[in-house]
Structure 1
Amino acid sequence: MTRELAVLGTASQVPTRHRNHNGYLLRFDDEVILFDPGEGTQRQMLLAGLAVTPITRICVTHFHGDHSLGLPGTLQRISLDKVPHPVAVHYPAAGQEFYDRLRHATSYWDNADIVAAPVSGASFTAETSVGRLTALPLWHSLPTYGYRLDEPDGRRMVPELLAAHGIAGPAVSELQRAGRLGDVTLEQVSVARPGQSFAFVMDTGLCDNVFALAEGVDVLVIESTFLDEDATMAEMVGHLTAAQAASVARVSGVRKLVLTHFSQRYQDASRYLDEARPEFAGEIILAEDLMRIPFPPRNASG
C-alpha cells in the first residue's frame, strides 16, 4: 500500500512561473484525498501523472480562490471520467453559497456521485476507509477549517512467535479476527503497531486548534506564507510565518514538517528554511510543485 503526498501547487494568493495555486493529493492506502484544489489543479495532476479516478474525497479549508477555484474543473473531470464510487466533498458549511456556485459553475453532464459533506461547529469527524478524519476551525478572515487523518492503532504479527505457537495459514486470519485461537491470544504473537497520522493546516494565525491538529502527527503540511520581517502583517491577515510553523511542529512533536503556501514577495525560498530550522530540528521539506513526499517509516514499535 502507498502512503505519500503529491504536491500540486505551493503558491499563496498569486501564482508564479514556478508555483501553481494550491493543490495536495494524499494517498493513504485506499483513501485518496485531494486538499484545497486551486486554479490549475487538473493541469498539475496531468503533469504529475495522476488521475482523478482514485479520489475518494475532497477537503476544502476555505473559499478563497487560491484554495478552491480548481474545484469546478476537478468535479467536472470526475464526472467526465464517470468515477464509479461516491466522492465526498468537505468544506466549511458557512461557505455553502460558494460551494453551490462552484459545484455547478458551468453546464456539464453530471455523471458522478458527488456527496456534499459540509463541516461545521467546534469539531467535525467522519469515518474513512483508513481511520478518522477530523476538521477543526482555524483563525482566518473567513470560516476556515484544518483537517487531520488518524489511522487507528493496530497489531503487527511476528512470524517467529506465530511459528513458535504452531499457527500458520488461515489460522492467522482467524486469530486476528477473533483475538484468540485456543489458548493463544493475539498479544502473544504480535506487537503494537501505532497508527499513522496526517494534518493539513492552511491560512490561519496561531490558535489552539493549529496545535491540536498537529499534535504528534507523522506528516504536517502547514502554510508558512510570511517571513519574520513581515510577522506583523501575517498576524493582521491571519497567516503564519515559517518560524511560527516550525515552532508548532516542535511543540507538537511532529515527525515530518512540510512548509508550503509561499508568498510571491520573497524571491529566495531558502529563507523559509533558514528561519524554520532554529525552531525545529526534525525533517523539514520546502514544498515544490509536483514533488512527491513519502510518509516516514512507522515508529520502531510498529
Structure 2
Amino acid sequence: MIELVVLGSGSAVPTRERNHPSVWLRYMGEAFLLDCGEGTQRQLALAELSYAKIDIVCITHWHPDHALGLVGLLHTLETESVARTIHVIGPDATRNVNGFMASAAKSEKADIETMDVPQGGGVVRETPYYRIRAFPTLHNVRSYGYVFEEKDRWHYDMDKVERMKIPVRVLEELRQKLVINYGDRRLAIGEVAERIHGKKVVYTGDTLPTENTIEAAKGADLLIHDATYLEKREDKYHSTAEDAARVASAAGVKQLMLIHFSKIYADARAHVAAAKKIFPNTIAAEDLMALKIV
C-alpha cells in the first residue's frame, strides 16, 4: 500500500487554501517528500505527520516554491537534535544543498546525503521493494518529474509448495532468480506463485505536456500533474488542466490528480470539469487531502 497526503497544492504564491507544492508519500515505513515548498513543516503538523520521520526528499527543481521549505526542515532537524539520515535527490542537489541550503541550516546531527539527478534522468534510488526514477520535464529551468514504482512481488500457492515439498530456502532462491534447477528439472516461479503487479505513482512538478511524461506515466495508478492554468500560457512553462488530461489519457493511467493551481483561481472546479471531458477519472489536489493506493 502507498499512502499519500497533499501538503501543498498551490503554485508560486500561496493562498489561504493552498500552500506551496509538496506531497508526502509513505511506503513500507519509509516517508518521502515530493518537493518541499515554504511552509511544508507547518502542513506536516496540520496533517499530524512527523518531520522527524522523513527519509527522502525529491526536489523537481530549485524554484523557491518547490524547494525553500527544505532549509527550514534541515534547520528543525538540527534544532531538535534529530539524528537520522535524510536523502535529498534533485538536479544539482549536492551544489544546492551544500551551498545556500546547508549553510543556512548548518545541520550537524542530521546526516544529509545528496544525489544529483543525471542529465537525462534515470533510477535515483532502488531497494528490493521499490525504485524511484527521475525523468526530464519541460520547465524554464532544469527540472525532473519522479516515478515511484513498487516492484512486482510473488504470492506463493502454499498448497502447491507443500505438494512439491519445496523448502523455504529454495523459495527465496526462486524469488530472486525466477527460474532455478530443482531436483532433476527446471522450476519457474510462475508454477507455484502468482505475480502481484506493483503500484505506480508519478509526480511531474512544473512542466508543459511532454512525451517524456507520457512515457514515464504509462500504466500508472496515479498521475499527479501540473495544471496551473485553464488557458494556454506556454510562456510560463506550465500545463493546463486539459494538457494534463491529454497526458493521462495517452499514458493510460488509472487516475489523474491536478495540482499546482495558480492563485488567480478561487477553486479548482473549472479545472476538473475541463479535464473530465478528456479524462473522466480526474480529481483536484486539495491541501491535506489523503489517499491510499492499494
Shared fold (TM-score, shorter chain, > 0.5): yes
Aligned 8 A contact 1:250 1:279 in 2: yes
Distance 1:83 1:260 in 2: 31
Distance 2:108 2:97 in 1: 19
Distance 1:99 1:237 in 2: 29
1:21 is the counterpart of 2:20: yes
Counterpart in the other structure of 1:194: 197
Distance 1:23 1:208 in 2: 24
Aligned 8 A contact 2:97 2:114 in 1: no
The alignment yields a C-alpha RMSD, in angstroms, of 2.3
Distance 1:98 1:143 in 2: 16
Counterpart in the other structure of 1:215: 218
Distance 1:9 1:156 in 2: 37
Aligned 8 A contact 1:12 1:264 in 2: yes
Counterpart in the other structure of 1:278: 277
Counterpart in the other structure of 2:130: 131
Residue 157 to residue 116, structure 1, CA distance change in 2 (3 Å): same
Residue 98 to residue 191, structure 1, CA distance change in 2 (3 Å): closer
Per-residue CA deviations over 1:220-244 (Å, capped at 9, x if unaligned) read 11111011xx21x2x1111000111
SS of the residue aligned with 1:89?
A: strand
Per-residue CA deviations over 1:11-46 (Å, capped at 9, x if unaligned) read 111111111111111112233211111111111101
Question: What letter matches 1:200 in structure 2?
Answer: Y
Q: Choose the corresponding residue for 2:108, options 107, 110, 113.
A: 110
Percent identity for Structure 1 against Structure 2: 35
Counterpart in the other structure of 1:292: 290
SS of the residue aligned with 2:52?
A: coil
Counterpart in the other structure of 1:38: 37
Aligned 8 A contact 1:63 1:95 in 2: no
Q: Which runs of 5+ in 2 are unaligned?
A: none
Residue 82 to residue 188, structure 1, CA distance change in 2 (3 Å): farther
| TM-score between the two structures when normalised by the length of structure 2 | 0.88
In the TM superposition, residue 117 of structure 1 has moved relative to its aligned partner by 1.0
Distance 1:126 1:109 in 2: 23
Question: What letter matches 2:284 in structure 1?
Answer: L
Distance 2:169 2:12 in 1: 51
Question: What letter matches 2:111 in structure 1?
Answer: D
Residue 13 to residue 186, structure 1, CA distance change in 2 (3 Å): same
Counterpart in the other structure of 1:258: 257
Distance 2:282 2:88 in 1: 29
Question: What letter matches 1:177 in structure 2?
Answer: E
Counterpart in the other structure of 1:300: none
Per-residue CA deviations over 1:81-136 (Å, capped at 9, x if unaligned) read 44444221112128935762122225x55201101212131123223333222112
The structure with the largest strand share of the pair is 2
Per-residue CA deviations over 1:161-214 (Å, capped at 9, x if unaligned) read 3455466xxx44641334566577532221111122221101111222121221
SS of the residue aligned with 2:133?
A: strand
State which drifts further: 196-205 or 150-159: 150-159
Aligned 8 A contact 1:7 1:292 in 2: yes
Distance 1:135 1:271 in 2: 30
Distance 2:108 2:265 in 1: 42
State which drifts further: 208-217 or 254-263: 208-217
Question: What letter matches 1:35 in structure 2?
Answer: L
Counterpart in the other structure of 2:171: 175
| TM-score between the two structures when normalised by the length of structure 1 | 0.86
Aligned 8 A contact 2:75 2:104 in 1: no
Question: What letter matches 1:188 in structure 2?
Answer: E
Per-residue CA deviations over 1:229-263 (Å, capped at 9, x if unaligned) read x21x2x11110001110111111011121111111
State which drifts further: 214-223 or 150-159: 150-159
1:144 is the counterpart of 2:147: no
Residue-pair matches, total: 286
In the TM superposition, residue 150 of structure 1 has moved relative to its aligned partner by 2.1
SS of the residue aligned with 1:56?
A: strand
